[in-house]
Amino acid sequence: MLNIAVLVSGGGTNLQAIIDAVESGKIADTKIGMVFSNNRNAYALERAKKHGIRTEVLVPKEFENRDAFNDAFYKLLTDANPDLIVLAGCLVVIPEKIVRAFAGRIINIHPSLIPSFCGTGYYGLKVHEKALERGVKVSGATVHFVDEGTDTGPIILQKPVMIRNDDTPSSLQKRIMEQAEWVILPKAIDLIARGKVSVEGSRVIIDDYDPDVIFN
Ligand code: GRF
């Protein structure tokens, strides 16, 4: 059984999609062992508690300095020792020490088609503002492995979402979440749980990958 830790900062709709997929069996053989938040008021924590999932909170500004927070964060995760860490709207920059300790075992959801509209400063509504400003006709979401860079790790799954004339950053954000994020994040976890995912250099290979059937 794949034991996952889900790291969140806010509303937790991606976390909810994972919980629902685990409970319905859409994600095979997986247990959410812990939900971590850097924000005590994250609604995601309520979602976890409703489903009896262990929650943990560490707030950076409650520590003496960033190193002290990073040490506590590292200890929490290495003690829990999940098979996979899922960043689901987690706004904390993951310290290098954690990335190295869990190399190839951390995934993130990003609300654009990487390598567009990603990297430092591209989070939340900013991503969608920039996509609309540039006038792209398609955006979407990406699940990728986390490496030492920002949004630079091997891409696992992507799903496109068409942009409309009347889109605002908020309407685009909402559609990308509904049509792409909540679909590909649970799917990626399921593929990993079923041992279908491997990494070759900068590329991810998924056994039996067929984009026409994978999301149905
Ligand atoms: C999502 O747009 C995700 O792609 C981004 O942060 C947002 C999290 O939303 N990284 P939620 O907390 O899952 O509702």
Q: What is the pLDDT of residue 214?
A: 83
Question: Of all protein residues, whose CA lies closest to atom 9 belonging to ligand 1?
Answer: 89
Average of per-residue pLDDT values in the chain: 97
Q: What is the pLDDT of residue 28?
A: 97
For residue range 153-178, list pLDDT tens digits in order: 999 999 999 999 999 999 999 999 99
* CATH code of the domain occupying 1-102: 3.40.50.170
User: What does the alpha-carbon distance between residue 100 and residue 175 come to, in Å, rounded to a whole number?
Assistant: 34
Region 92-115: mean pLDDT is 97
Place of tokens 């812990």: 34
Q: What is the pLDDT of residue 216?
A: 72
Q: What is the pLDDT of residue 152?
A: 96
Question: Of all protein residues, whose CA lies closest to atom 3 belonging to ligand 1?
Answer: 89
Burial 34-63 (b: 16+ CB within 10 A, else e): bbbbbbeebebbebbeeeebebbebebeee
Q: Considering all CA atoms of the chain, what is the largest pairwise distance in Å, rounded to the nearest integer?
A: 51
Residues 6+ apart with CB under 8 A from 141: 109, 110, 111, 112, 113, 158, 159, 161, 176, 177, 180, 181, 184
Question: Of all protein residues, whose CA lies closest to atom 8 belonging to ligand 1?
Answer: 89
Residue spans of the domains in the chain: they are: 1-102, 110-216
User: What does the alpha-carbon distance between residue 112 and residue 158 come to, in Å, rounded to a whole number?
Assistant: 9
Q: SS3 helix, strand, coil % of the chain, rounded to 5? A: 40, 25, 40
End-to-end CA distance of the chain: 24
Q: Is residue 95 very low, low, confident or very high in pLDDT (cuts 50, 70, 90)?
A: very high
The residue type of 129 is: E
Q: How do strand 84-87 and strand 30-37 relate by DSSP bridges?
A: unpaired
Domains 1-102 and 110-216 share a fold: yes
Instruction: Please tell me the total number of residues recorded for the chain in this structure.
Output: 216
Dihedral sign for Cα atoms in the order 214, 152, 92, 99 = positive
> Structurally, what CATH architecture does the domain formed by 110-216 represent?
3-Layer(aba) Sandwich (3.40)
CA of 50 to the centre of ligand 1 (A): 20
- Ligand 1 contacts CB of residue 108 (under 6 A): no
Task: Give Cα separations from 55 to 39, 40, 68, 160 (angstroms).
Answer: 12, 10, 20, 32
Percent with pLDDT over 70 in the chain: 100
pLDDT at residue 213 tops 90: no
Q: Is residue 93 very low, low, confident or very high in pLDDT (cuts 50, 70, 90)?
A: very high
Q: What is the pLDDT of residue 212?
A: 86
- Ligand 1 contacts CB of residue 186 (under 6 A): no
- Annotate 9-34 with DSSP letters as a single string: SS--HHHHHHHHHHHHTSS-SEEEEE
For residue range 51-91, list pLDDT tens digits in order: 999 999 999 999 999 999 999 999 999 999 999 999 999 99
Q: What is the pLDDT of residue 109?
A: 98
Catalytic residue among 51, 110, 128, 144: 110
Pocket test for ligand 1, best of 126, 157, 177 (most atoms within 8 A of CB): 177
For residue range 8-44, list pLDDT tens digits in order: 999 999 999 999 999 999 999 999 999 999 999 999 9
Question: Of all protein residues, whose CA lies closest to atom 11 belonging to ligand 1?
Answer: 12
111 CA: nearest ligand 1 atom: 4
